[in-house]
Amino acid sequence: MAEPPLDLDEAQRRLLALVSPGPSEIVSLAKSLGHYLAAAPVARLSRPHANLSAMDGFATSGDGPWAVVGESRCGSAFAEALSAGQAVRISTGAEIPLGADAIVIKEEAQLSGDRLSATELPQPGRYIRRAGEDFETGEELLDAGRRMGAAQLSLCKAAGVDEVAVFKPPRIVVLECGDELIAEPSRATNGDMLAAMFSGEHATVAVEPPLPDDLETISRALASHRDADLIVISGGASVGDHDLVRPALAEIGATIDFWRVAMKPGKPLMVATRGSQLILGLPGNPVSSFVTGFLFALPAVRAMAGASDPFPKVTMRPCATALPANGKRRQFLRARTTANGSVEPLENQDSAALHALARADCLIDRPCDAGETKSGTPVPVYPLQNGGIA
CB-based contacts of 105, cutoff 8 Å, min separation 6:
55, 56, 57, 127
C-alpha–C-alpha distance, residues 260 and 76, integer Å: 68
pLDDT at 237: 73
Residue 35: count of CB within 10 angstroms of its CB:
23
CATH T-level topology, domain 8-22+168-305 = Molybdenum Cofactor Biosythetic Enzyme; Chain A (3.40.980)
CB 213 within 8 A of CB 179: yes
Class of the CATH-defined domain 52-129: mainly beta
Sign of torsion over alpha carbons 162, 166, 168, 173: negative
Specify the pairing of strand 128-129 against strand 52-53.
antiparallel
∠ at Cα 175 (211, 180), nearest 5°? 40
pTM listed for this prediction:
0.88
Residue-wise pLDDT for 287-336, tens only, equals 999 999 999 999 999 999 999 999 999 999 999 999 999 999 999 999 99
Residue-wise pLDDT for 138-155, tens only, equals 999 999 999 999 999 999
φ, ψ (nearest 5 deg) of residue 171: -105, 120
Mean pLDDT of 341-353: 93
C-alpha–C-alpha distance, residues 68 and 50, integer Å: 22
CB-based contacts of 377, cutoff 8 Å, min separation 6:
318, 319
CB 14 within 8 A of CB 182: no
- Please tell me the CATH code under which domain 27-45+135-167 is placed: 3.90.105.10
Task: Please say if the pLDDT value at position 211 is more than 70.
Answer: yes
- CATH-assigned architecture of domain 315-388: Beta Barrel (2.40)
pLDDT at 236: 77
- Binned at pLDDT 50, 70 and 90, residue 347 comes out as very high
User: What is the number of H-type helices and E-type strands within the chain?
Assistant: 9, 22
Mean pLDDT of 130-134: 94
CB-based contacts of 57, cutoff 8 Å, min separation 6:
89, 90, 103, 104, 105, 106, 107, 108, 109, 127
Specify the amino acid at residue 224.
Answer: S
Residue-wise pLDDT for 45-85, tens only, equals 999 999 999 999 999 999 889 999 999 999 899 999 999 99
Q: Do domains 27-45+135-167 and 315-388 have the same CATH topology?
A: no
∠ at Cα 15 (271, 330), nearest 5°? 85
Residue-wise pLDDT for 190-209, tens only, equals 999 999 999 999 999 999 99
Helix (H) or strand (E) holding 191: helix 190-198
Mean pLDDT of 358-372: 95
Task: Please say if the pLDDT value at position 363 is more than 80.
Answer: yes
Q: State yes or no: cis peptide before 97, omega within 30 of 0.
A: no
Q: Where are the domains of the chain?
A: 8-22+168-305, 27-45+135-167, 52-129, 315-388
